[in-house]
Structure 1
Amino acid sequence: MTVDVVVVGAGIVGAACARALARRGLAVTVLDRRGAASGTTAHGEGNLLVSDKEPGPELVLAQHAARRWPSLVAELDEELDDELEEERGGERGRPGRGFPPLEYDPKGGLVAATTAAGAQPLRDFAARQRGAGVDAQEIDVASALELEPALNPALTAAVWYPEDAQVQPVAAAEALLASARRAGATVRTGVEVVGALRDGDRLVGLRTTGGDVPAGAVVLAAGPWSGVVAARLGVSLPVRPRRGMVLVTTRMPHVVRHKVYDGDYVGATQSGDAALQTSSVVESTAAGTVLIGSSREQVGFDERLRVAVLREMAARAVRLFPFLADASVMRSYLGFRPFVPDHLPIVGPDPRTPGLWVATGHEGAGIGLGPVSGELLADLFTGAAPAVDPAPFRVDRPAVLAGDVETTEEAS
């Protein structure tokens, strides 16, 4: 049977694409070689940020996402609660609904400089963002300590971002997939793409380890593996993995109240350097743990633990929050982010290959931007007026067409 659309990737971006397309009446099948939300989505911190983005197209998309997330959470809550009500024969009750909460928390973010050299660049960055409509409030040390009493008082500058938020990424992706299923989508896991089905130049489906999947269109939303999958379809796509690591403490009283990071984080996110870069990102979770990041390096799909990276991240975190020197770390994890040379997501049709659509390249912003990227793709697919200008994210922009990417079967 031919479906309207087959989506490759069941992370948050693929789930968002599936939901948006299925809710518009299209027959959708989602494929993932592993489990749903088991790749990049499961290895992030759930950041929903405007604070780390330079004025430009990505910030515009992030601002749209910040406005969209509260209503999306409400929609998913209502949908999934309705679904449980049906299963219970009319009994309604969110506290015991059986689906994990999304843990959406509009708690705001605090960016701090801890050196004299870092103070003015942070203030200048915030001023540029204010010019683009971001609520970026420069505050003094006393105000920063009022927001975060455990913060190191030896700050040189601080900016408060009330629009920043956090969500539990796996729960959010699973909820989007559940909503997509409710709209008629099918999700198949343990199915790997091995090639293309073509009618002349047109892509008309996929060859997979689970058999051929004929489709009117293919959406490639495989995160950092998008370059590998694209190569199997005969397409060049410059998406590379950029590895990041996170430390997780044991549970403790809720000391860190907001998302807090040092001013170096912004530079790390925007850098194209393949070498290791670290910055301090600290935040609490609803479970009572503290997440400590972050690192960025391009080492392919190398999953080996590097203790030196964790040590550097921990040292940076202690400079922000001295109390963490006595905290116990119970685990660490790493993940791969989809890196694109110009640091912009790729969303839309690929004019080189009729029938192929792309939604990838969000790097560390996929959780925050995933839902609106899925809606943007669905708008373009169905001819609806998009909420943001899609041109900066098009597949055929120079940075994408000129980029080269090495793919390995080992990464698949």
Structure 2
Amino acid sequence: MTMHTVARLTDTDVLVKPSPVAMVWNEPGRPLEALAVPGVHLCAGEALVEVELATVCGSDVHTVLGHRPAPTPLVLGHEQVGRVVALGPGAVRADGSPLELGDRVVWSVTVSCGECDRCARGLTQKCRRLAKYGHERVHRGWELSGGFATHVQLRAGTATVRVDEDLPATVAAPASCATATAVAAVDAASARVDLEDAVVLVTGGGMIGLSSAVIAAEAGAVVIVSEPDAARRAFARRLGVHTVDPRARAGTPDRLGTVLAALADDGEPPREVLVGIEASGSAAGVRTVVSTVATGGVAVLVGSVSGGTELCVDPESIVRRLLTITGVHNYTASHLEQAVAFLERSWRILPLDEMVGPTHALAMLDLALEEAASGEHIRVGVAPGRRVTG
């Protein structure tokens, strides 16, 4: 593992040896390139974090494959855990307490100003002057702007949350995107429906879907995950939730109707789905949750972050069912704090660490992205301190 030393040149300028390295993406099909950044200028409220582990999010894959526009050159990555190695004046955690050297932290995808009309309304993730880790064009002064690097420069307005030393990095890293977004999705559902004993259908057994499932289950919901991949359904059952196969024939055990009937008490009609959380991003998943949720229920759309999916809605059905359809994109600081708290009390009970498959050195990021794109693994890890072997 590479050992980095940090020397403070002034109150705001630090020199790191060996130089921090970020992997820069330019265009689909072109290998990523290493960019060395020897000196970092930390403004008020900023911090420099050495990355322990990053994980490859689905949006990273979509960008690399050219499925969504992105400014280039770009340092991807926004799910990671790391340790604070340098601080600018006045840097604070999400709860307002001072950030300290040595803090092991995760941080929000978004950087918010805290002053605009949207921030005042609590929509910090949609700030008028929003910046996002892993989504911004590399420019002088903020080269270390994504998680696929040895270090990340945290800007003022970033929600930074300290994590326990014993929390596995494979569990902590996804909190910065998938877990916090799942908390936001369940929060949006619970604002409309009491989750205690309510049937929640989650479409998509990826990181956000499975995280939403276990968070809803902890809240007392009866959770069903709809996922075509048999291995992911098996893993979901290990997390303590029910599963269905959206491709199963009517009347078979893996069919939603069969499971809803089995959940009912003897002589009672099948249970109804009161919450649908759509985490697959597929048109079929969207249609399923909107058409399946029962009267007075809520459909939470969280997976549709790429264009091209159109939804035909019968407004009469929406009106007569008193149906709420809401969208969730990213999350607030409170959601990230809740995500960390959930992980810290759950990781010893649930096999959350197994959601991250192979982990590669930073220099092998192209391979990590390729493996993530295969869909074989829920998440693939990238460890900047890991040496390249073989």
Could you say which structure has the greater relative contact order, defined with CA pairs below 8 angstroms and 6 or more residues apart? 1
TM-score by length of 2: 0.25
Q: Name the structure with the higher helix share.
A: 1
